Amino acid sequence: MAGKRMKAANASYDKNAMHSVSDAVKIVKDNSKVKFDETVEIALNLGVDPRHADQMVRGVCNLPNGTGRSVRVAVFAKDAKAEEAKAAGADIVGAEDLMAQIQAGDMPFDKVIATPDMMPLVGRLGKILGPKNMMPNPKVGTVTMDVTKAVKASKGGAVEFRVEKAGIIHAGVGKASFTADKLAENVTAFITAIQQARPTGAKGTFIKKITLSTTMGPGVKIDGSAT
């Protein structure tokens, strides 16, 4: 069934053509035929070599219509800031006790936020949080005294991005159940965020290729010059 579905999807559009964001969204939505609400994913091939510090691309994009997924947030904070994090909707709040929980392998969360004074403690978890892309970082707003803003952003539409070794960035930008307009707004916002994060060391063409797809669907090429 999956093979027939993919064959039909591939036959429904020109795989080699460049599409506008709105057309690409329509194609991926039309080809979402599975029984679950697929994530709509974007992949960008960039003209950078992230091994060089001046070609690293990293940041955060606040999607105007959210991600469509429930994000569980852990916050390292104490006293008043811990209470503020709880009031903002954080799922887990702690300090040494949270560190011990993580060291024991109990990690029922998707994102970690920390106040600056907690970073010496959090730093000891680098080998655990780092590989999972959960290490708090001030560049993406996850090391901050404004825990209310950080928690609400994480649970809203904040999507962190970081270029991989091969020069690729990928992220979820919504669900197939979103309206076409809302998906297009999210896709455009994400592409714009990447363009604005162009590093000083990037030479020539920065965004070489943009592909939009659903979890189980085919990739559709987007014309980056049209965004």
pTM of the entire predicted model: 0.81
pLDDT tens for 117-147 read 999 999 999 999 999 989 999 988 999 999 9
Q: For residue 105, with 0-12 CB atoms within 10 Å meaning exposed, 13-18 middle and 19 or more buried, which class applies?
A: exposed
Contacts of residue 222, defined as CB under 8 A and 6 or more positions apart, other chains included, come to 18, 19, 20, 21, 24, 187, 191, 210, 211, 212
| Closest of 53, 65, 45, 51 to residue 191, by C-alpha | 45
Architecture per CATH, 14-67+158-226: 2-Layer Sandwich (3.30)
Q: Where are the domains of the chain?
A: 14-67+158-226, 73-155
User: Between 61 and 8, where is the model more confident?
Assistant: 61
Q: Mean pLDDT highest for which of 111-120, 149-158, 216-225?
A: 111-120
pLDDT at 2 over 60: no
Return mean pLDDT, the chain. 92
pLDDT at 43: 97
**200-212 burial by CB neighbour count: b if 16+ within 10 A, else e?**
eebeeebbebbbb
pLDDT at 8: 64
Distance CA 30, CA 1 (A): 17
Please compute Rg for the chain using Cα positions.
Answer: 19
Ordered strands of the 207-214 beta sheet = 168-175, 39-46, 207-214, 220-222
pLDDT at 3 over 70: no
pLDDT tens for 176-188 read 999 999 999 999 9
Looking at domain 73-155, its CATH class is alpha beta
pLDDT at 11: 65
Provide the β-strand partners of residue 46: 207
pLDDT tens for 76-95 read 999 999 999 999 999 999 99
